[in-house]
Amino acid sequence: MTTLITGGTGFLGRHIIDRLIATGDEDLRVLTRGEAPELEALGVEVFQGSLLDPDDLQAACEGVTRVYHLAGRVERDRSKAHLMYELHVDGTRMLLDVLRGLDEPVDKIVVASTSGTVGVGTSPDFMGHDASPHAESVVRNWPYYLSKIYAEKICFDYVENHDLPIVQMRPTLLLGPGDERESSTGDVVMFLKSEVPGLIDGGVSFVDVRDVADAFIAAMESDAAEPGDTYLLGAANMTMHSFFEHLEALSGVPAPTVRIPDAVARFGSKLLERVSGVAKRLGDLDPASVEMARHYWYIDSSRAENELGWQPRDPAVTLRDTIHWIRENHPDFTDEHGPRPDPPPEFVPPETVEFARQLREQHS
């Protein structure tokens, strides 16, 4: 029984692979554009190819019975919209075309979408549910989320018209240890570097990548997850102010105190330079980030909890582990004196200390 994983070298992909291996699943194949010696060392079959090449897809899908489609590109730069549409929309369609043409049908396809397809609003009273309509009018200027909406619609079409057994997972912001490419934890890195310019009225939802990996595997294994189903995955809904307060309490880094007026934030970061006390530390903040921050990304994960038995861990543990992993591994927080010493056991869970130790050994 061969399991194909696209995006297996990414933040979520590595956690899913680690869990599959830990549970005894040895017949794993990863489609990746580059080499992945660390996966080969784990016994994973690495197939080098492109999600946008029909021949590569045909060869990579040969003999597979299960598929985790995780490949994605996270960008806030609108000038790269075509790359996101190409990968998320065209790539998904091409993969599903190959899968529906296989001689032996696959058992299930679990697809990584995002909560932002339905779970974003303009009011603090907003709450996204799996039955909520697509938020096209809200995300129309954010190509990442709009391309994900179109990818979801393609998946629904292939369920309805081609009988493909597709289940779509909708996680919120992924945090936790192991984000080597800074694909999801960049905002936490910015906070730890004291580069968050100020407070914007908005709300964030986040979830531990380790818990999301468990949810994906549960969706693959469970008969409760049927073709066409979607599952929002989030552990905490917080205002931006509360989010930064939690990070301050766990990291010791002061949270921003300057409040950016909504009238200013509405017009993007260009105007932030004119706000007293903000101009010095704009960092990499861009207009799209400002626009997104002033929305509310609150979601309800009760469907995943009820049908998959999914229970996310304490969000404080996720934030704590994210901070410690960044400080142990991010180049901006390490120097010639080597990695920081292990934190005291009473401050961090033992499994996090052990995880950090293993990572250092892998990279030594």
Q: Give the per-residue pLDDT at 181.
A: 87
Helix (H) or strand (E) holding 321, with range, is helix 315-329
Beta carbons within 8 Å of 211's beta carbon, 6+ residues apart:
233, 235, 310, 311, 312, 313
- 243 sits in which H/E element: helix 240-251
**Quick one: which of 34, 37, 32 has its CA closest to 5?**
32
Count of CB atoms situated within 10 Å of the CB of 90: 16
pLDDT at 348: 54
**Average pLDDT of the residues in 82-102:** 96
Indicate the pTM of the whole model: 0.87
Asked whether the beta carbons of 95 and 49 are under 8 A apart, the reply is no
- What pLDDT does 288 receive? 76
Per-residue pLDDT tens over the stretch 65-75: 999 999 998 87
pLDDT value for 360: 57
179 residue type, one letter: D
Q: Give bridge partners of residue 175 from the DSSP assignment.
A: 208
| Positive/negative CA dihedral, 79, 204, 19, 189 | positive
Q: What CA–CA distance (Å, rounded) separates 321 from 350?
A: 11
Name the least confident of 10-24, 229-243, 267-281, 335-349: 267-281
List, edge to edge, every strand of the sheet that includes 236-239.
Answer: 173-175, 203-208, 236-239
Say how far apart CA 312 and CA 13 lie, in whole Å.
18
Mean pLDDT computed over 170-182: 95
Q: Specify the CATH number for 2-178+206-235+298-312; select among 3.40.50.12280, 3.40.50.300, 3.40.50.720, 3.40.640.10.
A: 3.40.50.720
**Most confident segment among 222-231, 324-333, 352-361:** 222-231
Pairing state between β 203-208 and 236-239:
antiparallel
Q: What is the pLDDT of residues 263-306, one digit of tens each?
A: 556 654 445 445 544 444 444 456 777 888 899 999 999 999 99
Tokens of 241: 């102010």
Q: Phi/psi of residue 108, each to 5°?
A: -165, 150
Considering the chain, what percentage of its residues have pLDDT values greater than 90?
Answer: 73
In whole angstroms, what is the distance from residue 208 CA to residue 107 CA? 27
Task: Write the pLDDT tens digit of every residue in 94-138.
Answer: 999 999 999 999 999 999 999 999 999 999 999 999 999 999 999
What angle separates helix 350-363 from helix 315-329, to the nearest 10 degrees? 30
d(CA 316, CA 246) in angstroms, rounded, equals 8
- Closest alpha carbon to 212 in 299, 147, 127: 299
Instruction: For the chain, give every domain's residue range.
Output: 2-178+206-235+298-312
